[in-house]
Structure 1
Amino acid sequence: MKLLRFSIYVFLLIIAFSCGKKEVACELDSEILDQDLTLEIVRLEDEFFTAESKEDFEFLLEKYPDFAEGYLGKSLYSSPDSLISELLAIHQDSAMNVLYDSVKVEFQDISEIQKDLENAFKAIKYYFPEFRVPKVYTFLSGFNSDLILTEDMIVIGLDYYLPITHTFQPDLPRYMAERYARPYIVPMIVTAISSQFNEINPQDNTMLAEMIYYGKAYHFTKAIMPCTSDQFIIGYTEDEIAECYANEEYIWAHFVENELLYETNPFEITKYLGEAPFTDAISTKAPGRLGRWLGWNIVDDYQFNQDVTITELMDNPDAEEIFRQSGYRPRSQN
């Protein structure tokens, strides 16, 4: 399987949306929702933690061969018994049992996640008929993996999405850990799936190409999930989004004056697009990954001004063309 390997508040939101992106209709067409597609999420953490014997685990490995191989790596073990022994040890681990109990409490009801993901799959299938709806499993990863996605299977490590106040936490920087919460799960999945349709020019290794790639990914997610707040798509807080728009002219000027769009040095590109608590080349108050946010704005303008469909957008591998035809200009705050 191919692996496809993220009051004053009201006032700030008004600024963000009035000076920001073009409005997106917050609804899915009935033609999309009426498709014959029903999603079931299999709660494998329950099945594996209620298993008690070697025979129980043998049964589960046979029942879910895709999970056994694609997630547990069954073929990498010297024998099935080796894998089963490891699973039995995990089952008996007291910390893992505490973690499992916490997941059972926090994620007792995942019907909203299931419905959001089902609607997202319907929208993807509508725009991209070749999309194969994958099987979806939840599991207790022991903080080994948050999301595993292939074209055929998705595994959600629910322990990653426990409240940030929980005793057990994944080994992540605080600024990243705050994004591992229930509202981010489906947008994360949809953004990852976008890579199946996000055509690129492999010879173009410029910062602009990277910016447009992420811009297309976020635009895809917003098109598939139009009622989802931008913060759950890009992982910025509402305040950070408002501040970005308030300083968009300054941010754009920095990119232009420093001739960053056609930069090819990977270190320089990472400074503006890689995971970081802030983009210190611009300001320690500016959130990280600003190049991705800027790329999203460029792509939004391209789609709006050129009136292309989501399919046409994702099929276009030419970052330079998308930029030139976007007519992008920073949103003036005057």
Structure 2
Amino acid sequence: MKKALFLRHMAIGDLVFILPFVQEFLKAEPSYSPELLTDIDLFKPGLFHKIHLFRNLNSSLPEFEYEKLFLFHYEDHPNLHIQDAYSLSTGIRVQKQLLPFSFSSFSKLQAKRYLFKFGHNGKKIISVQLESASELRNYPLKKYYEFLNILKKKHPEFSILVFSSNPHTLDPEYVNFCGRIPDLNVLSYILSLSSFFIGPDSGLLHIARAFSVPSIALFGPTLPELRLCGTSNIRLPLHPSIDCFGCYHEQSKGKEEMHLCQKGRRACLLDLEPELIYKEFIKLLEGKEDLNLLERMQRYEIYKEKYLSDKDPEEERVRLHELYLKRIEIFFQNKYIQSKRNRIREELLNLKRIIFL
């Protein structure tokens, strides 16, 4: 069977963004066996026949006998939706969507054990993420706790599960998973069981969306129209008097830095009141569509058509691959790669020839 390699240095959210591309490729080329080379171990082989981790290449080198290479790269198009930028770099066209993924029986069992151990009472679940990996995207904890208190008092019918990669001391009425679930598969399965999700622009938000969990998404430095897929079952509590959302996207590499903030202090999130978030939660409960998000999505589609009209897709793929090869060179200075570094480097660089044959 012919093999195709899908390559992405990833954050958690990227994992669910790429699945529609793999599915679309397999529809067109069912004779191929797709493999993934990445940073994060979340998916078990499903759509992917094998998953290789960069950090393991020194001890477990995959056979680089691939007919096709697909590089997922969006950093050089920060004003495009992630999946539109991926379409440019891979040549695969998809409808914007997120696909759910499967879980092993072991992950499901572990999730049930965690829920029991940390006090889930069997009620319907609201999952709340306190922090993302990016500090600039985070809602201030003091206000977050105020919002959680409102939620807890007005909706005792729900069990509130709180997530963060960092430990936090919380009121015992919450199910505190902060710093307590190291396995992303287990965490993702718990999210898939939730009735609602609340959190910043992050990997957990996108995983929840992949499983169609109704969500409150806290945006500020990043733009929802460049991150979200679809407008159903999601509400955005955007600060009503801020008009400078999206400073993240104003750099060519999409790097988040405070000096880009026009207000100098992340007012888009720091001044967002808990009561406004709760009002959006009520609208979500009532099933009301977010017309502001719908309008943003429509404006973006007009912008995208104009942006892409003067770009040759093949030339753009060549350019993006050349840039990525430079990143590969830098990567091989990494401490993980020692004795086999030169061999791996040559194998990956040789893939450049394959993709343009």
TM range (shorter): under 0.3
Structure with the higher strand share, 1 or 2? 2
TM-score by length of 2: 0.26
Structure with the higher helix share, 1 or 2? 1
TM-score by length of 1: 0.27
